[in-house]
Amino acid sequence: MIESLGQSIWNALDWALGLEAQKISFWQMALRAVVGYIVALAAIRLGNQQRFMGKYAAFDVIVGFIFAATIGRSLGGSEPFLSLLGVALVIVGMHRLFSALAFRFERFENLVKGSPQLLIKDGQLQEETMQKTSLSKNDIELALRLQEKLSQTSQIKLARLERSGDISVTPQD
């Protein structure tokens, strides 16, 4: 029963994505790009990597990587040129769709782009958030010195790790 279900799932994935095929169709290439985009975004979001690629959102960087890889393959001649250009357009279209959904629905925006994480509240480090975001006290103090010329967390009312990867600071009154 489980073996036949597993085989059925494998067969469906092979049909959709061409897992073992030497030649794949345009639609299989496009679906591979969509699945790759979603898996990469999920991996980065699940890993809480808001600082992935510095100031650029992982959401945008992933599209750039997949787009560049697709265009690169089309230039190398290993795959049909027009199919790969079509796949590149699918990637751009999917990114625009995700952007539109993120603009319209805040929960979707937070899912794909992340949301600010509170690091300091009323001078107190938020240990749980620091652990979740892989930021040490030294990382936060460095950001305070560089951005606000403050050296003590007690001087901070609020500090957040923004989804851009920057740390925003509100000094005490």
pTM score, whole prediction: 0.66
Mean pLDDT of all residues belonging to the chain: 82
| 23 exposure class (CB count in 10 Å sphere: 0-12, 13-18, 19+) | exposed
Residues 91 and 129 in one domain: no
Residue 164, domain CATH? 3.30.240.20
Residues 91 and 154 in one domain: no
Residues 84 and 160 in one domain: no
Per-residue pLDDT reduced to its tens digit, 76-124: 767 778 888 888 899 889 899 999 999 999 999 988 888 889 999 998 9
**Number of domains making up the chain:** 2
Q: Report if residue 58 sits inside a domain.
A: yes
Q: Report if residue 152 sits inside a domain.
A: yes
Per-residue pLDDT reduced to its tens digit, 122-143: 989 999 998 888 888 888 888 8
CA–CA distance from 72 to each of 40, 65, 131 (Å)?
Answer: 19, 10, 38
* More confidently predicted of 22 and 49: 22
Q: Report if residue 80 sits inside a domain.
A: yes
Most distant CA atoms of the chain, gap in Å = 66
Domain that holds residue 134: 117-171
Look at the chain and count its residues: 173
